[in-house]
Chains A and B, each alone.
Chain A
Amino acid sequence: MTQAEKEIRFQEKIDREIKIEPNDWMPDEYRQTLVRQISQHAHSEIVGMLPEGNWITRAPNLRRKAVLLAKVQDEAGHGLYLYSAVETLGTSREQTIDDLHSGKAKYSSIFNYPALTWADIGTIGWLVDGAAIMNQVALCRTSYGPYARAMVKICKEESFHQRQGYESLMKLCSGTPQQKAMAQDAMNRFWWPALMMFGPSDADSTHSDQSIKWKIKRFTNDELRQSFVDATVAQAEILGLTIPDPNLKWNEARGHYDFSEINWEEFWQVVKGNGPCNKERLAARVKAKEEGAWVREAATAFAKKRAMKKSA
């Protein structure tokens, strides 16, 4: 079979909604796109542990502390599934993580913003996990089998996180004026970065068309962003929080909310590494890796010794 014939067969499979599995033939570019996207997603889970993890010791009561610990632990689990999905494409976890540390691989920019108050924890659950779900529900039907299956598992937990975050904000919004103000302040800081989570607008997105054709992506960045805004407005109203956008209003003709243009200058600055916490986030991951090196070496050495004893 020629290369061209293989590619035609591959596209036919995609068009017939047959999942691509690890041992199936796939174009190199499809493989690379997946490795890039899944590893970026995996890194987002892991780096995303940091802003929230930073509040575990300060959670205001024991129940919230347990809920937050469990949530951050879920994110570690998501990272694990996704690194495994990348491994099915022939790239080891080690390599994938090295690419993060060298700056070659990216992660979601939202995690370069600081978590400053307790309200940020609820807001991250509600808006950030909420935006993640918008993306990920679509990915449950992505064309690569292992990624789609990981997503199904992850989505269930993410929607749980979102509900918990919302419930936590509900408590603040029905609490004292100080608590309500804390919630509004978190909303003001996280709204725009949450919208940026969907990536550049379709006009500026370099990978979009081919990804849609391969059904890696099912919807464009702008479509997903619009769905998120449409779903979130009513939720904010119930909380009694104001979305920090004077141009936000229902457009009868479109059947969608209109909203202001995103500050793309800020978006690209944060992507390039100039966000408020980029340096700290990466430094924390590198430190964990370096300080954990002897632990991993010990585990490997021990396993070898035991294997030798067994075979002796």
Chain B
Amino acid sequence: MQESALFEYVLRLSDDSLILAQRLGEWCGHGPILEEDIALTNISLDLIGQAISLYDFAADLEGKGRNHDQLAYLRYENEYKNVLLVEQPNGDFAMTILRQFFFDAFRLPLYEALMQSPEEQLAAIAAKSVKETRYHLKHTSEWVIRMGDGTEESHQRAQAAIDHLWRYTHELFYEDAHDQSLQAAGKVPSMAEIQAKWMATVTSILQEATLEIPKNNWKFDGGREGRHSEHMGYILSDLQYMQRAYPNMEW
């Protein structure tokens, strides 16, 4: 039970990283400023690096001889366990930055906590990823503040992105029996703890940015259980194209 719970847990982390990296990769060559083109690509690259380490670990836990590429490329849509947030389209720059900001504000406290995990490999991946994530959060926080406190237009766009994405943030703290068994064993933090830290970060940055937390409290979820939005199929069509069109070849 513990093995499969941990496999599921690590797969969620991997899929979040991969799908978000895939989305960010779409920006390459189309950024609003050359410097931001480079910054978004950087975040994408870090996330791919994290995904590789995480999928390798998941593959070990699974013990079926799959490698990171087989996990990343050769599953069906309902086997991907990423949150809906990361598969949402890039939209404008504000939408991309806010999506990233909400994600980073979740990932940072999560990695910080996982660094203490008795699961050594997980702790090592968290330790390696935490520095990158801290930098990502710094970068996106700065942009949230810049947009919120920039021009009227940038303020409106940032607020619109928050209002749209808010419904997807709740799922970041999803928990089920897998999480609970790992928490009971002291291997992973409770999501309530992570959520409190996330909320503190989000509240303080949005305040500085003169932006508001939406009143509406719609909650969309399903990704963690493999029920995705309509966007996911298109993401996988691109991602898996080569592996599906040319099966069993090395590149």
A-side residues, CB < 8 A to B, are 46, 49-50, 53, 56-66, 69-70, 72-73, 76-77, 79-80, 83, 118, 168, 171-172, 175-176, 178-179, 284, 287-288, 291-299, 301-302, 305
Contacts and interface: CB of A to CB of B under 8 A. Distances in A.
13 contacts: A49-B29, A50-B29, A56-B28, A60-B242, A62-B55, A69-B28, A73-B37, A73-B45, A291-B93, A292-B32, A294-B153, A295-B32, A302-B149
B25 to A, nearest CB: 4
Contacts of B151: 294, 297-298, 301
Most chain A CB within 10 A, of B28, B35, B42, is at B28
Contacts of B51: 62
A161 to B, nearest CB: 15
A292 B69 CA distance: 35
Contacts of B146: 298-299, 302
A42 B194 CA distance: 45
Contact of A179 (B37, B41, B246): B246
A294 B154 CA distance: 7
Contacts of B32: 288, 291-293, 295-296
A176 B51 CA distance: 28
Contacts of B35: 80
Nearest to A179: B249
Given A57-B25, A62-B52, A171 B250 contact: yes
A176 to B, nearest CB: 6
B68 interface: yes
Contacts of B93: 291-292, 295
Nearest to B69: A61
A62 B92 contact: no
Interface string B24-49: 01101111111111100110110011
A258 to B, nearest CB: 35
A118 to B, nearest CB: 6
B153 A69 contact: no
Which bracket fits the contact residues of B? 35 or more
Given A58-B242, A60-B251, A73-B45, A298 B147 contact: yes
Nearest to A305: B149
Contacts of A62: 18, 48, 51-52, 55, 68-69, 72
Contact of B29 (A53, A59, A172, A178): A53
Most chain B CB within 10 A, of A64, A72, A73, A80, is at A73
B29 A57 contact: no
Contacts of B29: 46, 49-50, 53, 72, 76, 284, 288
A282 to B, nearest CB: 13
Contact of A61 (B38, B149, B251): B251
B22 interface: yes
Given A65-B48, A73-B42, A168 B33 contact: no
A65 B52 CA distance: 11
B241 A58 contact: yes
A209 to B, nearest CB: 34
B178 interface: no
B150 interface: yes
Contacts of A58: 238-239, 241-242
A296 B33 contact: yes
Nearest to A292: B32
Given A61-B243, A298-B147, 15 more contacts: A50-B29, A56-B25, A61-B72, A62-B55, A63-B52, A178-B249, A179-B246, A292-B36, A294-B153, A295-B36, A297-B150, A297-B154, A298-B146, A298-B150, A301-B150
Contacts of B167: none
B251 A46 contact: no
A73 B36 CA distance: 11
Nearest to A299: B146
Contact of B249 (A79, A80, A175, A298): A175
